[in-house]
Amino acid sequence: MSVAHDQNTSLPSAYDLPLEDIDVSIAQLFQTQQHFEYFERLRKEDPVHYCKDSEFGAYWSVTKFNDIVEVDSNHKIYSSDKTIVIGDADPDFNPPMFIAMDQPKHDVQRKAVTPAVAPVNLAKLESHIRENVCEILDGLPVGETFDWVDRVSIELTTRMLAILFDFPWEDRRKLTWWSDVTTSNPAQVGADASIVNEEERKKELMECLEYFMNLWTSRGENYEGTDFVSLLATNPDTMEMSNDPLEFLGNLMLLIVGGNDTTRNSISGGVLALNQNPAEYNKLRANPDLIPNMVSEIIRWVTPLGHMRRTALEDTELGGKKIKKGDRVVMWYISGNRDDEIIDRANEFLIDRDKARHHLSFGFGIHRCMGNRVGEMQLRILWEEIMKRFEKVEVIGEPERLCSNFVMGITEMMVKLHPLKA
Amino acid sequence: MPSVTYIEADGKEHKVDVAPGLSLMEGAVNNLVPGIDADCGGACACATCHIYIEPDWHGKTGTRNEMEQSMLDFAEGIKDNSRLACQIKVTDELDGIVVRLPVAQF
């Protein structure tokens, strides 16, 4: 599988390959950041592109903004059933989760957990999040070099998730670990198999299930909470879910990943983007009121989840191409977010961009990210507090990137903090 | 030109003229009425242009289509008179329409 594309072998330029041989599923492309060039070529020359042979099988790539919106909002033709990443699910171990379900079951389960992240609940959480942000930032070593990913990006998202699950605080890094285990499946997203093998993966996830089963039981039917576990345990439509442990596990995995990798990488990616674009950092210093707009721009720029996959339920046509029933159709959000026919100066990071919210990172249609407001709120509060303390969060050296065609991850990024001048 | 009144959740009114053919979402965004995010740009794919139609106008704005219903299912504070503003085209018949905005778009 991933051996065919050893990390040390450099990959050819997109423009040196015959068009029909272009395969954007190779995870190393994202690690080396060459994927941008590959997608640029596809958007120009073959926006709905068929790759007849990849390590995940044949698949269509949808690379332009409007085509992606069309697929994403047409859930009757483009199904999410069983899997939403390029590689097929393991038939022997595929915990059901509502992101990988069609209507009507998807709707019922999604509705059960939505209140945890709906605006009314978020307003109550804001001051709590701010306390955590301040505590994390005030504990950082000023003037020393340290890993921003571990100390801030992971720590903040994990605390937020622990709050949303009402999860035992001292054990919160388990959530980070289970998230990484869930998204590191080589057969599905091209991740490096050395992180955790298939057997270990199942074992770790079963431990996750057992841990949450205990939480579920302890919450009981009279528990009044707006955390995810209590909402599932008390909603009439989902309260039987613990009788189907795999389905309970699947939805936990979804909520854990949804609240973890995404915001984590937007936190790291925002710091990096501002370092690479000093003029934008200056704009921010001059006008911190740009933060909400910048948050949307960061989420577009990073596109924390690079793709979502659908499966055609019938023969159809997209961008002039004939798609057959059963075909894999991959919407590359990471590409659509750089489509300069829809987004002005799409390859530039502009924190005061007009219509910054018009991006694909949350997806569109019935599967649109339900935690989008939580993610935005964490980033907004974090940047408000960073700007009160630091003149600059300086990136030192090159960040380490994850090998995956799904999570656009930064695994390590060394930084040095420069306090505000008195 | 038809006149449209958008009322924010806190009661603040915005009375603006909107050209026939535009949607109620475009009418709000073009006139900088706050509270309509319209993230998807009018594709009925995000539910961030949720509005409430005032009772007098309910009959003239048609009914939700299937996709609109699906998207509204996941919005917050849905009522019988909830619609997505991008799915309602302004016509001369809607001159004077009044719509209300929710506390937050979700």
Residue A1 pLDDT: 35
Assess if residue B21 is contained within a domain: yes
Dihedral pair phi/psi, residue A18, rounded to 5°: -60, 140
Q: What is the CATH number of the domain that holds B94?
A: 3.10.20.30
> What are the E-state strand segments in A293-358?
307-312, 316-318, 321-323, 328-332
Consecutive H or E run containing A391: strand A390-395
- How many domains is chain B partitioned into structurally? 1
**Predicted pLDDT of residue A195:** 72
What pairs with residue A418 in β-bridges? A392
- The position carrying tokens 């924390």 is A304
Phi-psi region at A119: left, alpha or beta (left = phi > 0; alpha = psi -120 to 50)? alpha
Half-sphere exposure (Cβ direction) of A52: Cα atoms closer than 13 Å: 3
Q: What's the burial of A390, exposed, middle or buried (CB within 10 Å: 0-12/13-18/19+)?
A: middle
Judge whether B9 is closer than 8 Å to chain A, CB to CB: no
Q: Give pLDDT, residue A221.
A: 67
Q: How far is A313 from B86, CA to CA, in rounded Å?
A: 28
Dihedral angle sign, alpha carbons of residues A29, A32, A35, A40? negative
pLDDT at B63: 95
Q: Which two tokens stand for residue A221?
A: 């039917």
Who wins on pLDDT, B13 or A240?
B13
Collect the ranges in chain A with pLDDT lower than 50. 1-7
Of B37, B71, B76, the CB nearest to A366: B71
| Cβ contact A138:A130 at 8 Å | no
Contacting B with CB below 8 Å, chain A residues are 69, 72-73, 75, 103, 107, 110-111, 114, 118-120, 355, 357-358, 362, 364-366, 368, 370, 373
For residue range A235-264, list pLDDT tens digits in order: 899 988 888 999 999 999 999 999 998 999
* B46 to A368: CB separation less than 8 angstroms, yes or no: yes
What is the three-state SS of A372-384? HHHHHHHHHHHHH
Closest Cβ opposite residue A69 in set B40, B47, B67: B40
Select the residue of B43, B74, B76 nearest A364 (Cβ to Cβ). Answer: B43
**B44, B72, B74, best to mutate vs chain A, most A CBs in 10 Å:** B74
Average pLDDT of the residues of chain B:
96
The Cα A221–Cα B60 span in angstroms is 45
For A225, the token pair is 């909470």
Record: contact B39-A366, CB cut-off 8 A:
no
Give residue-wise pLDDT tens across range B14-51. 999 999 999 999 999 999 999 999 999 999 999 999 99
A357: chain B residues, CB-CB within 8 Å:
37-39, 48
- Residues of A within 8 A of B71 (CB-CB) are 365-366
- The CATH number given to A2-419 is 1.10.630.10
Closest CA to A365 of A131, A178, A41, A102: A102
Interface probe, candidates B29, B36, B76, chain A, greatest A C-beta count within 10 A: B76
pLDDT of residue A3: 37
Task: pLDDT band for B94, please (50, 70, 90 cuts).
Answer: very high
Q: What is the pLDDT of residue A222?
A: 67
In a domain, B7, yes or no: yes
* Structural domain boundaries enclosing B35: 3-100
Q: What pLDDT is attached to residue A198?
A: 83
In chain A, whose CA is at the least distance from the CA of B37?
Answer: A357
d(CA A68, CA A333): 7
Amino acid at A350: L
Strands lying side by side in the sheet with A390-395 = A145-147, A414-419, A390-395
Residue B103 at interface with chain A, using a CB cutoff of 8 Å:
yes
Number of neighbours of residue A370 by Cβ within 10 angstroms = 22
d(CA A10, CA A6): 8
Query: How many other C-beta atoms can be found within 10 angstroms of the C-beta atom of residue B53?
Result: 23
Residue A9 tokens read as: 């072998």
In this predicted structure, what is the pLDDT of residue A186? Answer: 86
Q: How many CB pairs under 8 A join A and B?
A: 54
| Nearest Cα residue to A377 out of A267, A268, A221 | A267
Q: Which residues of A touch B40 (CB under 8 A)?
A: 69, 73, 358, 364
Q: Write down the H helix ranges in A117-172.
A: 119-138, 148, 155-165
Residues 6+ apart with CB under 8 A from A182: A205, A253, A256, A257
B56 pLDDT above the threshold of 50: yes
By Cβ distance, the residue of A75, A118, A357 closest to B39 is: A357
